[in-house]
Amino acid sequence: MSTEAPAIKMDELIKRLFHLSKKPLINLLNALYDDHLDETSQVDYGSTEFIRDDLVKSIADTFINISFGKTIYRYHIEFQTTHDKNIVIRMFRYGFEKAKETLDLTDLTRPVEMEFPNPRIIFVEENEKIPDTLQLKIKIPKQETLLYQVPVLKYWLYDTQQLYAKKMYLLLPLQVFKLRKYLKTKGKMDEVAYQSLVRTAEETIRTIGQALEERKVTLEDTGEMNAILVNIMEYLYGKYGDYRKIDQEVKEMIKTFYDPKLVEEGKIEGKIEGKIEKAREDICKFMVRRFNADNNEVIEKVRQVAGLEILDNLMEELFAANALEEAQAIIRRAVGKSFQ
């Protein structure tokens, strides 16, 4: 293993968490929004890329649509590891761009209604200047003032047990990141920080294991959550301490809290997962080669297709497609089947 500190892209790690199985995702949304979504609801991930009128591309964190019966719940979630003072403006802009997608312009004699997705922002790192709600007041002369509000989740206030109690299992791997503020102040990993990081990692891995035992998450979810936790620890060790320590220490931690039977089960699931990843790669290559599709966009959609059988059927249907739009519609249907 290299002794150099790895780069870290928290937005990518967090997006991986939001693409785990449906049950923990629904639980997290219910906790963030105080909703009562059913686990049988259908999940759809909205596009997060927007091309503005000036041709500048903007990328939001996460848009999620939940369909339950005839009702569609639209959510917009952003993460911040540091305090960006412009975040509420960017969230408004992202929400505006997303609302434009559902505009009905058939009758301009009536007010055109824009439905913004329900916004939330999660601040990971402690900052006393962050309010409970971000607000943007929009004033137009001689008209009513519009107040755009974004409720805030202050992640640093939650430990593993509090996250577990609120069913926010997906956010468990971010616990070790909370130590970064202390490390930035000290400039290096001293013994106090080291012991705190180890304790936090052990407690997090134990709690993730508890979620697996109680069937709150799947074995695949658990593997991904632990991988993300390791990614963050690699970053912290590499930037502030001895990066070479991370490999063996974390492996031993993870081993300690795993039932051997589950590990064996994981090997079987790992083989299946390997086939699933291969099928996804083949579909992406086919879409790019046959229809000149945008590779990143295809990857984002195909990652939402779960199950080897659905992926195999998807490839068969794509072979019969004659145009990019038709192929994209086929992929969307496959995503829908994955969450049924």
Residues 171-191 pLDDT 10s: 999 998 888 888 888 777 777
Confidence at 286, pLDDT banded by 50, 70, 90: confident
260 pLDDT more than 60: no
Q: Are 75 and 61 in contact (CB under 8 A)?
A: no
Is residue 208 within 8 A of residue 221, CB to CB? The reply is no
Please answer whether residues 237 and 198 qualify as being in contact, where contact means their C-beta atoms are separated by less than 8 angstroms.
no
Is the pLDDT at 61 greater than 80? The verdict is: no
CA distance 260 to 266: 10
With bands split at pLDDT 50, 70 and 90, how would you rate the model's confidence at 203? very high
Predicted local distance difference test score (pLDDT) of residue 258: 53
Residue (of 340, 262, 270) closest to 306 by Cα position = 340
pLDDT tier at 262, thresholds 50, 70, 90: low
Q: What band does 136 get if pLDDT is binned at 50, 70 and 90?
A: very high
pLDDT at 249 over 70: no
The torsion defined by the Cα of 239, 240, 243 and 247, in degrees rounded to 10, comes to -100
Q: Is 146 exposed, middle or buried (0-12, 13-18, 19+ CB in 10 A)?
A: exposed
Q: Give the per-residue pLDDT at 59.
A: 47
Q: Residue written as tokens 């259908």?
A: 42
Predicted confidence at residue 57, as pLDDT, reads 38
Mean pLDDT over 320-325 rounds to 84
**24 close to 169: Cβ distance less than 8 angstroms:** yes
∠ CA 273-208-13, rounded to 5°: 60
CA atoms within 13 A on the CB side of 141: 0
Helix (H, G, I), strand (E, B) or coil at 52: coil
Q: What is the pLDDT of residue 162?
A: 97
Residue tagged 């031993």 (tokens): 252
- Residue 54: predicted pLDDT: 40
Higher per-residue confidence, 165 vs 264: 165
According to DSSP, the residues that pair with 151 across neighbouring strands are 133
Contact between residue 173 and residue 204 where contact means Cβ atoms under 8 Å apart = yes
Of 182, 211, 164, 62, nearest to 122 (Cα)? 62
Q: What is the pLDDT of residue 163?
A: 97
pLDDT at residue 120 is higher than 70: yes
Mean pLDDT over 277-285 rounds to: 84
Q: What is the bridge-based pairing of β-strands 118-123 and 146-154?
A: parallel
* Six-digit token string for 46: 């909205």
* Mean pLDDT across 144-155: 96
Percent of the chain beyond pLDDT 70? 82
Burial group, residue 243, by CB count within 10 angstroms (0-12, 13-18, 19+): buried
Residue 308, both tokens? 């080897």
For residue range 82-112, list pLDDT tens digits in order. Answer: 878 899 999 999 999 899 988 888 888 888 8
Read off the pLDDT of each residue in 115-125 and give the average, rounded to a whole number. 94
301: pLDDT strictly greater than 90: no
pLDDT > 50? residue 161: yes
What's the pLDDT band for 253 if we cut at 50, 70, 90? low
Contact 49, 57 (CB under 8 A): yes
Among 65-79, 180-194, 198-212, 318-332, the minimum mean pLDDT is found in 180-194
Distance in angstroms (rounded) separating the CA atoms of residues 62 and 85: 19
Which residue has better confidence, 76 or 335? Answer: 76
Is residue 198 pLDDT above 90, yes or no? no
Q: What is the mean pLDDT of the chain?
A: 82
Least confident of 152-161, 191-200, 260-269: 260-269
Tallying the residues shown for the chain, one arrives at 340
**Continuous H helices in the chain:** 10-17, 22-33, 87-100, 160-165, 180-186, 191-213, 219-240, 246-256, 260-291, 295-302, 308-319, 324-338
pLDDT in tens, 70-89: 899 999 999 888 878 899 99
